[in-house]
Structures are given as C-alpha cells and as structure tokens.
Amino acid sequence: MLRLLTAGESHGRALVGIIEGVPSNLELNAEYINHQLHRRQQGYGRGGRMKIETDRVEILTGVRHGKTIGSPISLVIWNRDFENWGEKMAAEPVKVEIEKVLIPRPGHADLVGKYKYGYDDIRNVIERASARETAMRVALSAVARRLLSELGVRIGSHVFSIGNAGYKDREELDSMLAKMMKLEHGAEEIAIEADDSEVRCLDKSIADRMIQQIKRAKKLGDTLGGIVEVFVTGLPIGLGSYVEFDRKLDGQLAQAMMSIHAIKGVEIGEGFRNATLFGSEVHDEILLRNKKIVRPTNRAGGLEGGITNGQPLWIRAAMKPISTLMKPLKSIDLSKMKTIEARRERSDFCAVPAAGVVAENVAAPVLANAILEKFGGDSIGELKERYSREAFFGSTVVKTQ
C-alpha cells in the first residue's frame, strides 16, 4: 500500500516528500513529474510567486536508471524564492531582528494556528499552511498517476465555474465530456484540452467570462473561488468496499479532495443537486443490452456502495475564494489587541485552475492504493499480470440526465 508524506515551508529551502509502496520496475523519470508540476503552476489569476518559481523535482532515492526499485522514493523541489528569505527562514538562530506577523487573515489558518502551536509569530503558520505544499503533493501523486497509466487508468479535469461564471447547461457539457472520454486518452483528453485554456475551461465564451470575473476581483482587491470537476476512466469494477466505513472509496476520495487547500465542498457526481430530486430521477437504471448489463446514465458518478461500478469516476470540488485579500477584511493586531485591517500578503487572486490539476493528481494515490489492495504485486509486471487476468470492466456512459 502507498504511503505519502510531505514536508517543507513555503519560503523555506525546499519542499521534500516520500512515497513508499510503489512496485518495482515502474518506468519513472523527473520529466513525467515535472509535467504535472508545470501544469499546477499555470492559470489566470496566479500571483507573483509563480513568476519566481519553475517547480522541478529531483528524484533522490528509489529510482535507478529510469525505473523504480521498490524502495521509498524521495523527492525534492527547491524553492527559488528562498534566496529572498534567507535569514527570515533560517533553521539556525539568527542575530538580526525579524519582524513578526501578528495580524491574522480571516479565513486563513493564521489565528487558530498561532493559538494551537503557541507561536509568537504567525509566519510559522503561513509557511506550512500555504498551498505551496500542493507542489510536493502533486509530485508524489504523479508517481501514483504513472502507475495508473500503466493500467490504462486516465485522469482529467476541467474548471466548471469561477465566481458566478460557469456552465448552465449540464446536458451539453456532458455530451462533450462523453465524447472526449471515448478518445485515445480517455479522461485525460479533458485535461489535455482544458490545459489549452488559461482558466482550464473547455468553453471559450465561458472562459472569457471567467477571466473577466478574475480581472474584476483583482481590480477590487478581492479573490474568487470556483468548482472543478475530475473524471477518471479505465477503472475496473470493484475498487473500494462497503463492508467497513474506512474502506469506502468515495470517503477516501472526499478526504483527498477536502485536504486540498481552500476546498470546502466535495461531491461524487452531482451529489448536492441529486439531493433536490426524486429517487427515480437520480438512480441509474440497470438494463440488459445484447445480454450485457449496461447503465444508461452515470448520476452516481462511478461509485455505488463506496465501490467503483465501471462507469467513469466523477468528482466535483468547490474551492472557497483565497483568504488573502488586497482589500482586507477587519482583523485584530494581536500585539495591541486593536481592530485593524488584515495583513496583505502576496498571494493568488484565483487558484481554481491550479486546484483542478491538484485534484486530478491527489486522486491518483487513492485509486492506486485501491488497485494495489485488490490486485497486489511487488513489481509492476506482477501487478499487470494479475490485473490483466482479474480486472473486470463495465460500460462507459457519462450522460447524467
């Protein structure tokens, strides 16, 4: 089973990570991981930091001559910005006076983090609570994604909405997504197409409206959230289980999504909309066509009873607007206990496009784990052999209406 651990402060020397449990003989190189890191850095609405960093990973252990050897894989991403932070982020005590951060931003971990860990400087919270952590999480998760791709599992995402600019017509979107998922790269086709858009939106006119919204937020010194959708194709029937709560795949995926910074809502399929409808309008009928069981719709989002049902997996995640505002909300200066505007800190205005890339990738270790649990294998050859013998697939329909 895979285990992942990340470490690193946003402006510290580096982000580091370990992934353990990856079968041996899996082809893996830094370039594959760097592609995902590059995708994470894109998107209209990012702040100044992304101009400083060109996130690239160095593989320190666990890979030899382009193949995994079954031992823990450790990675490092050097923070270029560390150069500008030197003494402020030094591990050793420093002689110079470092200005402390004492004004918490509403919506951020600042205030609770300070009290929980007993800091005299909110900087310690900012550093680790930063969404920069997702750079290493994406890097580690990309290893699991590489494993999945060997088995024909493909992952993609697109931005459904930013602020109040987004899709109104679900049916039209669904038929477009269905077509894309039947192409060569399965769900990854969606990611390839979305990556061409600055906001990772598949519809040009909606994308333009999203950009207008972000421009407006920027002008107002404000920020915006939105909704991303992740799809996975090529998954076999039977991953996850209903027999115990912590083995339900929807629960595990929701945890992975919710652990992404600023993600505050997760749905499998259109979970929240389905809650407003009759059962007869929601559940996917079980039909026979040419003696084969088929599902005419995929409102369940590819999971029933916490188990994959052979339909594309469909996850929606809602991101709240980033909590660092250039036109700040009220807060308190904790050194004087006086009301004051919250601190401005360089940040993004909208990171929804990046969140989609993060969501795609963090789904990978959850799915790879479920596959390893069911099929097992110490080498990729062993896993593939068992998988080709035992994996059972369903029909691929994505229509929700």
Nearest distance, CB of residue 358 and ligand EPS, angstroms: 9
Q: Of 90-98, 129-137, 243-251, 387-395, which segment contacts ligand EPS by CB under 6 A? A: 129-137
Distance CA 58, CA 68 (A): 14
CB of 329 to ligand EPS, least distance (A): 15
Query: In three state form, how does the secondary structure of 9-43 look?
Result: CCCCCEEEEEEECCCECCECCHHHHHHHHHHHCCC
The span of 142-150, 295-303, 344-352, 368-376 binding ligand EPS (CB under 6 A) equals: 344-352
Find the binder of ligand EPS among 13, 14, 30, 47 (CB under 6 A): 47
Which pair of tokens denotes residue 2? 């895979």
Backbone angles phi and psi of 71, in degrees to 5: -90, 165
Q: Which two tokens stand for residue 400?
A: 């929700």
> Is 322 a binder of ligand EPS (CB under 6 A)?
yes
Judged by beta carbon, residue 161 or residue 323, the one nearer ligand EPS is: 323
Annotate 280-313 with three-state secondary structure: HHHCCCCEEECCEEECCCCCCCCEECCEECCCCE
Question: Is 10 an interacting residue with respect to ligand EPS (CB under 6 A)?
Answer: yes
Beta carbon nearer to ligand EPS, 357 or 363:
357
Binding mask 261-300 for ligand EPS (x = CB under 6 A): x---------------------------------------
- 3-class secondary structure, 118: coil
Which position among 39, 114, 123, 132 is part of the footprint of ligand EPS (CB under 6 A)?
132
Among 130, 141, 213, 233, binds ligand EPS (CB under 6 A): 130
SS3 of residue 257 by DSSP: helix
What tokens appear for 396 in the block?
């691929």
User: 180, 140, 199, 138: which is closest to 360 by C-alpha?
Assistant: 138
Q: How far is 94 from 195, CA to CA, in rounded Å?
A: 44
What is the nearest approach in angstroms of ligand EPS to the Cβ of residue 12? 11
Whole-number Å distance between alpha carbons of 234 and 155? 9
Q: Does 157 bind ligand EPS (CB under 6 A)?
A: no
The CB-of-195 to ligand EPS minimum distance in angstroms stands at 17
In this structure, which amino acid lies at residue 171?
A: E
Q: How far is the CB of 324 from ligand EPS (least distance, A)?
A: 6
Q: How far is the CB of 132 from ligand EPS (least distance, A)?
A: 4
Q: Please, which residue, 348 or 360, has the CB nearer to ligand EPS?
A: 348
User: What is each CA distance from 172 to 17, 93, 166, 175, 179, in whole angstroms?
Assistant: 41, 59, 13, 5, 11
Contact 44, 142 (CB under 8 A): no
Does 127 bind ligand EPS (CB under 6 A)? Our answer is no
Binding residues for ligand EPS, per CB under 6 A?
10, 47, 49, 81, 130-132, 134-135, 261, 322, 346-348, 351
